[in-house]
Amino acid sequence: MGSLYRQNSRSKAWVAKFKSSDGKWIARTTGTRDRRTAELALQQFEKDANMARIDGELTVAAINRNAADMHKRITGKALNFVTPRSYMEEYLKSKEAKATKATMHSYRKIVKFFLEHLGTKSDQDIQRVKPVDVQGFIASRTKGGAAPATVKLDIKVLNSVFLRAMKQGICVLNPAATVDMPVVDSDPKLPFSLQEVQSILKACQDDEWRTLVYLGFYTGGRIRDISDLTWSSLDLGKNPAVAYRQRKIRKGSQAKVRITMHPDLKDWLEEYKLLSQAKPSDPVLPNIHKLKPGGRAGNSQQFINVMRGAGVDPCYAEGKHKLPKKSFHSFRHTMVTMLQRQDVPEDVRMMIVGHSNPDVHKIYSHDEETAIKSAILKLPKLTG
């Protein structure tokens, strides 16, 4: 039978003395000065020790149940353990105010896939999630054909989730902190030939989609950045240019891009604007702007459908999640290839496409037989 005592010289909190599972006497503070609360704590200590003595091992689930039972007896309130599912749902809500729709779409997919991987653990104590669970999730994503950049984002998001939980005192371990990244070579996009771009332009269903092609070809911008352009982003004056902030980078000098406008692009945009009667704050591509960034009905997939209509093969890679080697992103590779073939310095090419890392920029350089021999202001017309 255990007992309680106090050491007034050190602390006025009651100390519980009881036999552990191996039969040895141990002392543990109850953390309270209230005698009745201390008695309940002593009873719980003895209960845990007896369970371990009988079963040989006290499981995490048993400890949680016992702790919850003691908490309810002392406070009269139930102790609810935080689960991965409940915490991650709260995490997503906290991000909605600052993150873009595209970012939230990605975050929700990662959380959904991770909770599915956890199975029953997703509704148990978050403390039970271990590095092996995260490592297994990453391995399954890689095996399933997820691109290296996608896997890196998975780890980044999970690391952010558990790091936040640690700071809030909800868990003592960040299981994503020690996860190893799989070593997989990235498979860059292929550039378009000039003939392919001209075919795509002819296959467009209307002038809005043709404008998207013009902007992609002459700026090398990403599809989301171009889809978000407003007329105020375009300077059609004496020094025509396209200016925008890259979604992917956001911070730093490389986030802002200003590209000299090719005369062919300027002529097209002036006529297109006149017909659309748009205001400065209006999107340049109002219908495409409304499309989601991903999915079968998203802007990227819609563009691939246009490519197919033009007879341009997307060149899908092998694997469960087949990724196209040619897509709208290929316009970036096309531009860098053309500029490289014209001996445009690397730092200038990087400024045009908004790259901050030379190693990243290198994957956009391709040796193309049909490369255009003029620099950005001498690029050929797409029509006529």
Residue 349 has pLDDT above 70, yes or no: no
Q: Which of 40, 75, 110 is the last residue of a domain?
A: 75
Residue 42: predicted pLDDT: 82
Q: Are residues 241 and 108 in the same domain?
A: no
243-272: average pLDDT? 78
Determine, yes or no, domain membership for 181.
no
Residue 282: predicted pLDDT: 93
Structure-token pair, residue 33? 């000065």
The number of distinct structural domains making up the chain is 3
Q: Are residues 142 and 215 in the same domain?
A: no
Q: Is 246 left (phi over 0), alpha (psi -120 to 50) or beta?
A: beta
Q: Are residues 150 and 245 in the same domain?
A: no
Q: Are residues 161 and 275 in the same domain?
A: no
Strands 25-29 and 256-260: unpaired
Neighbouring residues of 16: CB distance < 8 A, sequence distance ≥ 6: 2, 3, 4, 27, 28, 29, 30, 38, 41, 42, 45
Determine, yes or no, domain membership for 384.
no
CATH for 109? 1.10.150.130
Determine, yes or no, domain membership for 173.
no
Q: Which of 54, 75, 96 is the last residue of a domain?
A: 75
Q: Are residues 13 and 128 in the same domain?
A: no
Residue 306 has pLDDT above 50, yes or no: yes
Q: Are residues 264 and 354 in the same domain?
A: yes
Cα distances from 320 to residues 114, 144, 299, in angstroms, run 18, 6, 22
At what angle are helices 346-353 and 330-341 packed, to 10 degrees? Answer: 160
CATH for 273? 1.10.443.10
Q: What is the mean pLDDT of the chain?
A: 78
Residue 318 has pLDDT above 90, yes or no: no
Which residue in the block uniquely carries the two structure tokens 């690391």? 159
Structure-token pair, residue 169? 């005192």
Q: Are residues 205 and 328 in the same domain?
A: yes
Residue 11 has pLDDT above 80, yes or no: no
Q: Are residues 253 and 327 in the same domain?
A: yes
C-alpha 307/C-alpha 313 separation (Å) is 7
Determine, yes or no, domain membership for 25.
yes
Q: Are residues 148 and 14 in the same domain?
A: no
Residue 232: predicted pLDDT: 92
Residue 353: predicted pLDDT: 57
Q: Over the stretch 34-57, which tens digit does the pLDDT of each residue have?
A: 888 888 878 877 877 777 666 555
Q: Are residues 161 and 100 in the same domain?
A: yes
Higher-confidence position of 247 and 174: 174
In which band, very low, low, confident or very high, does the pLDDT at 13 lie, cut at 50, 70 and 90? Answer: confident
Q: Over the stretch 86-145, which tens digit does the pLDDT of each residue have?
A: 999 999 999 888 887 778 888 999 999 999 999 999 988 888 898 899 999 998 888 877
Q: Over the stretch 267-301, which tens digit does the pLDDT of each residue have?
A: 999 999 887 778 889 999 999 999 887 777 788 89
Q: Are residues 216 and 351 in the same domain?
A: yes
Q: Are residues 149 and 69 in the same domain?
A: no
Residue 274: predicted pLDDT: 85
Determine, yes or no, domain membership for 236.
yes
Q: Over the stretch 186-238, which tens digit does the pLDDT of each residue have?
A: 556 788 988 999 999 999 999 999 999 999 999 888 898 999 999 999 999 88
Residue 18: predicted pLDDT: 82
Specify whether the CB–CB gap between 127 and 171 falls below 8 A. yes
Residue 376: predicted pLDDT: 47
Residue 367: predicted pLDDT: 38
pTM: 0.55
Q: Which of 148, 167, 186 is the last residue of a domain?
A: 167
At CB < 8 A and 24+ separation, what contacts does 301-308 make?
A: 303/212, 303/223, 303/327, 303/328, 306/200, 306/203, 306/204, 306/205, 306/209, 307/200, 307/203
Determine, yes or no, domain membership for 51.
yes
Which residue in the block uniquely carries the two structure tokens 């400024």? 351
Q: Which domain holds residue 206?
A: 194-378
Determine, yes or no, domain membership for 279.
yes
Query: In the chain, what percentage of residues exceed pLDDT 90?
Result: 26
Residue 60 has pLDDT above 70, yes or no: no
Residue 148 has pLDDT above 70, yes or no: yes
Determine, yes or no, domain membership for 172.
no
